[in-house]
Structure formats: C-alpha cells, structure tokens
Amino acid sequence: MSHIIDRRLNGKNKSAVNRERFLRRFKAQIKEAVGKAIKGRSITDIESGENVSIPVKDISEPSFHHGRGGVGEHVHPGNEEFVQGDRIKRPQGGGGGGGGGKASNEGEGEDDFAFQLSREEFMNVFFEDLALPNLVKTQLMGIEEMKPVRAGYTNDGTPANISIVRSLRGALARRVAMAAPTLARLREAEEDLDTLLESDDDNGMEVRERRRHIHALREKINHIPFIDPFDLRYNNRVKQPKPTSKAVMFCLMDVSGSMDEGKKDMAKRFFILLYLFLQRNYEKIEVVFIRHHTSAVEVNEQDFFHSRESGGTVVSSALNLMADIVKKRYANSEWNIYAAQASDGDNWDSDSANCGKILQENILPWCQYYAYIEITEGEPQNLWYEYLRVAGQHKHFAMQKIRSPADIYPVFRELFKRQPATR
C-alpha cells in the first residue's frame, strides 16, 4: 500500500537555519561587502538587498583528490574518427581528454560564489556596526509602523473578533428563510383546522390528525437552530501604514582638508541612520546637502561625499545657508525639519560664538531635532564647548563625539525614544 501525504502546507523554510549559518560563517566577507555597498550607495537608497560575492577558495570544502599527472585512462562515448593506436595532441586547458580533477585550481574554477542578501539581512549587518538597541532595530525595520484598520467582515477569525450584531442579523435572516415554507404550511393547516372545527360534522379523528400535523410543523420550526456556525461573522481588520507627513533633512558637513575618507564614511553612516529613521515616520522626505569650509554651498549627494576641498573652516557659513534655505523653501508648517551635522571639530576661533547664536535664534526654533557629531580623536575645541552650552538649553539638540560607528547611535537616542510621528 502506498501512502500519499500532502506536505505542501508544512513550513518551507527548513533551510533558513542553514542559510543563517552560512551567513554567520562568512560574516567578515559579507560585512566588507555591505561596507562597500554603503559607500557606493546613495543615502536614500539604502534599503534594498545586496549582491555579495565570496571567493570560491574561501568557501570550498577540501577533500583529498588526485592531481595532475600519472597515468589516466578514460572511456568516452561518440567516437567518430579514431582507431586504436592513434596519437592525439593533448588538449590544453580544461578540455575533455585528459586526467581528472583539473577544474579545481585553474581557469574557470576561480569564479566568485555570488548570492543575494535579502533586505533584512543587509540591514542587520548595517545595524550591527552601529550597535543599535533591538527595539530601535525593529522600529527601523518597519515592523511597528502598521496600524490596523477596519475592513468589513469575514467568515472566519478568532472568537474575540466575532461581530455579534452581524452574526445575529445573519442568524435571524437564516431562521426566517428556513422557517418560511413551514410557516406557510402551518398557517394553512391552522386554517384547515378552524374550518373543520366550525363545521358541525363529527370529525374528531380528522381534527386530531390535523392537530398532530400542526404540532409536528411547530416542532419543525422549533428545531431550526437559533444560531449556526454558518452565521458567524468576524470583524475584519487589515494593517495599513500609519498616515505620515513630510520632512526635510539637512546634512551639514565640514569638507575642509582635515576630513579624510574614513571620517566622511563615518559621517555617511550617521546621515543614513537619520534618513532611515525619518523614512519610517514620514511619507515624503527631502534631503538637502550643505558642505562648507570657509564658505558653504548646497550640493548634490555625489559632490557632498566625494569632492575634496581644503582651507579653513567657518561653520557659521553652513548654518546661515541652512537658515536661509529653511526660510525660503520649508517655511510653512507642514515640513518637519531635521538636521544632522558632521565635523571634525575645527572652527575659526571667533566664529564659534556666532554659531551658537545662529543655532539658537534661526535654526533650533524651527527644527524637530538637531544632531551633531564630532569625528575626532583629539581634544574638543571651542565649537564643542559652544555647542555644549546650546545642548544644555535645548532638549532637541544632541551631540556626540565619535571614534567608531558604534558611537553614532547615542546621538539619536532621544529621537528614537520619542516616536515623533505623532506630533
């Protein structure tokens, strides 16, 4: 006897653990690939998977096998022209003729093992660097941002969702519909009985017969169930993304000679993190890039991260430019304004006090959040102290000195705590 089993409903991700083990094993390579990807990508395009390739030699599982040389004898099908004793030139490369085990170390064997990281996997690796708390991770991954909305009724669901009114209304309709024919016959029979009783003939037998019939019909009506599983209706809820609004994000960066590639890369992660957060909370986000040395310009993303400038540093130039742009383009109240500033801490000495003033008067009153990171190994300079003073007075101003990507998160701690989408 054969046994036929339908296994299609069993879980299909049996290999998920093995896949995860695989990723775990090649974490170093994957991290590197993700790092490269972050460098290459635009801030606004951070959230898709990534192709990763790993050299085959890292990934192969070794086993003993024969190398080249010695005597090999091989049988092949499809002889066309050879006769015994023919001597043929040895084919070069991995051709069909000669000894086994050629493919492994030469030529085509060296292709990389390439595969696709899913979005989740990509983001996990990205977040790992930044040492985000788990709650924040799930928030950024977009799990909490759904809101259940009523969407009519369904025929199945959990008992907690039973819609009593709907169910009973259905039950009533069913009872009416099912009882209708019987009820008609009952009326007929009752009338019949009345006429019988009104006539004077002696028809006790018939009367009794009719009465029994009427009784049976009544019983039949009584047997229609009051409520049936068929009547049950459940409130249906579907998940919809929360309604959101518009935000603008300002990226301010010092591009003077002292900001090298490594510092810029760190700054980029800082901007990405803010962008991700905003993306969860706002439907539409605009990003404004402002770079500055002694003077500030608004540039596109490419120039922002990749062109080098040299010379001194006047931070207030960037702040002024930002204040101007806010006034010109984002003045009305529907824009939520966020700003992220990255610098190595250098500033023209007399300019720092100026910066504090501009921040407090022209920027912070309009901003939802202002985050500042100083990427430096050295001692803080006067800008830092000026900003410290500002931070003391404004809760939505955050600042942090960072050395590695893991230091970035604390800047945003307030931001992630607050769930600002509700504002």
Nearest distance from C-beta of residue 62 to another protein, angstroms: 4
Nearer Cβ to another protein (59/180):
59
Nearest distance from C-beta of residue 163 to another protein, angstroms: 35
Nearer Cβ to another protein (1/164):
1
Residues 6+ apart with CB under 8 A from 388: 399
Q: Encoding tokens for residue 212?
A: 């029994």
Contact 258, 349 (CB under 8 A): no
Contact 258, 166 (CB under 8 A): no
> Site residues for another protein, window 82-101 (CB under 8 A)?
82-90, 96-101
- For another protein, how many residues bind (rule: CB under 8 A)? 64
The Cβ of residue 368 has, within 10 Å, a number of other Cβ atoms equal to 18
Nearer Cβ to another protein (60/307):
60
Dihedral sign, CA of 332, 338, 342, 343?
Answer: positive
| 3-state secondary structure (DSSP) of residue 120 | helix
> Site residues for another protein, window 354-383 (CB under 8 A)?
none
Which of 10, 222, 310, 422 lies at the binding interface for another protein (CB under 8 A)?
Answer: 10
What is the spatial distance between Cα 380 and Cα 193, in angstroms, rounded to a whole number? 107
Nearer Cβ to another protein (54/315):
54
What is the spatial distance between Cα 353 and Cα 139, in angstroms, rounded to a whole number? 37
| Own/partner long-range contacts of 14-21 (Cβ < 8 Å, ≥24 apart) | none
Nearest distance from C-beta of residue 178 to another protein, angstroms: 34
Which of 2, 92, 134, 332 lies at the binding interface for another protein (CB under 8 A)?
Answer: 2
Nearest distance from C-beta of residue 79 to another protein, angstroms: 4
> Site residues for another protein, window 25-64 (CB under 8 A)?
25, 59, 61-64
Pair type for strands 245-254 and 335-343: parallel
Stretch that binds another protein, among 79-87, 129-137, 250-258, 322-330 (CB under 8 A): 79-87
User: In angstroms, what CA-CA distances link 240 with 148, 151, 162?
Assistant: 6, 11, 21
Nearer Cβ to another protein (75/164):
75
Nearest distance from C-beta of residue 28 to another protein, angstroms: 14
Nearest distance from C-beta of residue 53 to another protein, angstroms: 11
Q: What is the CA radius of gyration of the chain?
A: 38
Contact 273, 408 (CB under 8 A): yes
What is the spatial distance between Cα 97 and Cα 139, in angstroms, rounded to a whole number? 59
Nearer Cβ to another protein (57/395):
57
The reply on whether position 108 binds another protein by CB under 8 A is no
The Cβ of residue 68 has, within 10 Å, a number of other Cβ atoms equal to 12
What is the contact surface with another protein in residues (CB under 8 A)? 1-8, 10, 12-15, 17-25, 59, 61-80, 82-90, 96-101, 104-105, 113-116
